[in-house]
Every structure is written in structure tokens, then in C-alpha cells.
Amino acid sequence: MEAKKTEKSTIKINTNAIIAVLVLSGLIATFNETILNVALSPLMAQFNVTAGTIQWLITAYMIVVAVSVPVTAFLIQTFKTKQLFLAAMVILLVGTICAFLSGSFVMLLISRIIQALGTGMMIPLMMNTVLAVARPQSRGAVMGLCGAALTLGPALGPTVAGVVLQFATWHALFAILFVVIVIAMILGSIFLVNVSHVTKPKIDVLSIILSTVGFGGLIYGISSVSGAGDIKTVAAIFIIGIICLAVFCKRQMSLKEPMLNLRCFKSPVFTIGTLLVMFSMMTVFTMSVMLPMFIQGGIGANSFVAAMSLLPATLISAIATPFAGKIYDKVGPKVLLPIGFAIILIPLFILTRASYNTSIMTIIVLFIIVDIGIALTMAPSQTTALSPLPREYYPHGVAILNTLQQLSAAIGSSLFIGIMSATQLKALSNGVQAQAAVSTGFNSSGLVLSGFVLVAIILAIVLGIAKKKPSLSSESAENANAEVIEA
């Protein structure tokens, strides 16, 4: 008995270090997602490729991350935590080195795909391990730290890249990334312990193929809505993706050891919480793309000013997210989530009235308020969704959440930017000046997005009712979380 206490004490002592290493690694992985977003134009010129071709550096990355996440649910149950962490970081490191040395578009694309494999493994590993080592009473706070990494990373990518590219070439971006990856690997090798339940489930090759083709086809189809690729080809790939996903889902429900346990959705709390995570992700990802476009095209500022305009909101959101987790631990989702989405909705709706003569400072302040709302909803929605699940469901719940986050980002960027572009073109055809046309497109898209946030408020209220129902297992996830097994 004393040995168990000593073992648990050792884990408790290392909990903060474990969480810090994982959050840092998650931040690095997600930072890498958007690091090339502001470098696409110089890359087009250097490699002599079209905008449709260069966009594959973004689209391919999103596809690979999305298809890697479900497989990671299987890997978490097959390999020890430390082994899987180092494997993910090594893959990310190899891809970074290859990207730094790339002299052609094809080489850079392959390098980005390798990086995406590491990112797709790292994100669910971070969340699953944090859930395993955190005390139930502090789960909201530590999930807030994870949420800060998942939102701060992609938001910081274009800002940091914009500064670096003022003084160096795009190669320098990967040199910086190389250094921080190595630091994270050293820290991980020192502080990480094995906390996963290694059950070594049987691998179902057909499930892996179906999920890869399904999620890949779906993400590709959604990402191509704005016009990239031949319409017939895109439609065919999208339909194939839908069919494969349908077969994948049916297969998972019939397998004794599913790759992705979709029984998580039997919990209404998990289902609604997942939808709220998707709405939060869709909002922040869409606005981080649309606002720079509006600031440049509608107001006339340069790309550096547009990128820096997002920085205050990003930093404040990152600071607010852990505090939001602590608030969640005290008041729960019933109060926090409806208020959080209302905080998003009000400034977002005001932004739909912005025009070419709106000051950049006004936009910055309104976006700061939007991002505070994101901080109050993103991580708390994740925590709420996972709270009714028994511990053995955590890898599956985390994988589902992260896969659907990638999907919602793709839906947001394609749907709302598509609305913005279509409205802008219509305004131009009616003789509206270019800057005013951009403003019109931004306003229309923002108005539709506001409607989605309003739906999220309604769902958050419904969640407060669903939360009263029994959890998915008779043994609560909190009790299951009380013991951490040292592998």
C-alpha cells in the first residue's frame, strides 16, 4: 500500500512538468499548422506555381492531420506515452529538416505531409495524457491550458512568420521550428512518464483505410469549395469520402475493439459538447482568416499591419483560457457556456457593420472580446464533452473531438470565405467600388457566422439540461481519473 502511495506521490510531483511539456509540444505542433500562410505569395514566385497549386501546402496539411487523429486513438492504446510522444516529435522534426532543405515545391509538399503526421499524433496525445494525470477538480484548468495551446499556436503562426519574413527567407521559419522542437524533445525525455493504459487492441486495417479515405475526401471536398480543382473531380472525391465515412461508422459499431469508439455519441453531453467545440473552432479559425482579408482589402492596410492586428486578441485569449478553466471548475458549463457564446455574438454582430472607414483599433478591440468569448467556450466545451466518458473512452473521445475540430476549421474557412467572395463579386458586378465590395462580403459572411453562434447559445442552454442525465458509464469519469497507472 505504501509503495502505491509513493508511486502516486511521484506522479503528483511530476504532474505540472508533464502538463507543461505536453502543452509546449502541442503549441509547437499547432504553430506549425499556419506557419506558411503568409509565405504563400513568395513561394508561388520562387517555385513558379499557381495559387491553386501552392494552396496544397495548406490543404494537404489539414487532410493529413485529420486522418492521423483517429489512428492515434489506436496508437495511444498500443504504445507507452513517452514512446509515442518521442515518435510524434521525431516525425515532426524530420519533416521540419526536410522542409528547411527543400528546393522544390514537391519536396516542400512532402515535408509538410511528414510534419502533419507528427502534428496529428501530438494533439490527441497531449489532451489524452493531460486528462489522465490531472486531478478531477482541476480538470477544467488544465484543459484550459490545452485549449490555449490549440488556439494560440495557429494564431501565432502567421504573426511570427510575418515578422521573420521581414528580415529573412521562409527557410528561417523552419530553422526556428527545429530549435524549439529539439528543446521540447529534451524536456519530454526528462519529465514524461508512461500513464497510458496499454491494451494493445487488434489493428483493423480496413478501418484505417476507410477513415483515411473518408476524412481525407471530406476535408479535400470542403477545402475545395472556393474553387480549387476541377468541380467534377472534387465532387467525386467528396462523395467517395462520405460513403467511406458511412461504412467506417457502421463498421466501428459492429467491432468488438473499434478503432474509434463511436459509442461516445450515446452520451448527449458528449454530442452537444462536441458541437460547441466545433462552433468555437469554426468561429476563431474563420475570423483569423477573414479579418486580415478585410483589413487589407477593405481598409487598405498592408499585410504586416493585418497580421499584427490579430496579435493582441491572440495573446489575451491565451492568457484568459486557463482562467476560463478555473471558472469552469467553480461554476460548471451551465452558466459559463451560454455567457461565453453571448460574449462572442455581440462583438461579432457589431463587426458585421464594419466598413472601409472603420478604425483598425475598433476592429482590434472587438476581436479581443470575440477571442475572450472563445477562451470561455473552447476548452470548457471540450472538458464538458469528455466529462461523462469512462476513462477507457478517453482516447476515442479525444480523437473524435480533434478530428471534428479539423473538420470544422475546413468548413469554416471554405464556407464563410466562399460567402465573402461570392458577395464581393456580386457587389463589384453592381458597380460597387473595390474596398466597399470587400466590406460588403465581410459583412455578409460575418452575419451568417453570427447565426451559427446564436445556435451555439441555444445548444449551450440545452446542454445544461442534458448535463443532469446519467453519464455513459455507471462509474463516472471522475472516479476513473482518480488513479494514474504507471506503466
The CA-CA-CA angle for residues 73, 203, 83, to 5°, reads 50
Domain total in the chain: 2
Last residue of a domain, one of 256, 276, 294: 256
Q: In a 3-state reduction of DSSP, which class is residue 112?
A: helix
Here the cell at position 47 is 517555385
Query: pLDDT below 50 — which residues of the chain?
Result: 1-11, 13, 473-487
Residue 10 domain-assigned?
A: yes
Residue 486 domain-assigned?
A: no
Shared-domain flag, residues 162 and 278:
yes
Single pTM value for the model: 0.74
Shared-domain flag, residues 50 and 160:
yes
CA–CA separation, 391 and 480 (whole Å): 6
Rama region for 471: left / alpha / beta (φ>0; ψ in -120 to 50; rest): beta
For helices 360-386 and 434-466, give the axis angle rounded to 10 degrees. Answer: 30
CA nearest 341: which of 226, 462, 468? 462
Could you tell me which residues come within 8 angstroms of residue 79 by beta carbon, excluding any fewer than 6 positions away?
Answer: 87, 196, 198
For helices 303-331 and 360-386, give the axis angle rounded to 10 degrees. Answer: 40
Q: What is the pLDDT of residue 227?
A: 54
| R_g (Cα) of the chain, nearest Å | 22
Residue 218 domain-assigned?
A: yes
CA nearest 368: which of 485, 432, 455, 284? 284
Could you tell me which residues come within 8 angstroms of residue 168 by beta carbon, excluding any fewer than 6 positions away?
Answer: none
Shared-domain flag, residues 95 and 221:
no
* Segment 214-240, tens digit of pLDDT: 888 887 777 666 555 577 888 888 899
Residue 485 domain-assigned?
A: no
Shared-domain flag, residues 217 and 335:
no
CA–CA separation, 439 and 457 (whole Å): 27
Shared-domain flag, residues 210 and 195:
no
CATH at residue 104: 1.20.1250.20
Shared-domain flag, residues 311 and 327:
yes
* Segment 249-297, tens digit of pLDDT: 899 888 887 877 888 888 899 999 999 999 998 898 788 778 877 887 8
Q: What is the pLDDT of residue 472?
A: 54
Here the cell at position 152 is 494560440
Return the DSSP state at 264: G
Structural contact between residues 419 and 448, judged by C-beta atoms closer than 8 angstroms: yes
Q: What is the pLDDT of residue 110?
A: 95
Q: What is the pLDDT of residue 5?
A: 42
Shared-domain flag, residues 145 and 268:
yes
- Encoded amino acid at 460, one letter: A
Shared-domain flag, residues 323 and 380:
yes
CA–CA distances in Å: residue 45 to residues 49, 161, 227, 321, 400: 7, 18, 21, 39, 38
Return the DSSP state at 295: I
Number of helices followed by number of strands (H, E) in the chain: 17, 0
Q: What is the pLDDT of residue 469?
A: 57
Q: What is the pLDDT of residue 111?
A: 95
Structural contact between residues 122 and 76, judged by C-beta atoms closer than 8 angstroms: no
Shared-domain flag, residues 143 and 234:
no
* Segment 298-310, tens digit of pLDDT: 888 876 787 788 8
Shared-domain flag, residues 191 and 222:
no
Domain housing 100: 2-201+257-480
Residue 422 domain-assigned?
A: yes
Shared-domain flag, residues 117 and 212:
no
The CA-CA-CA angle for residues 267, 62, 300, to 5°, reads 115
Count the neighbouring beta carbons within 10 Å of the beta carbon of residue 331. 13
Place of cell 512518464: 193
Residue 140 domain-assigned?
A: yes
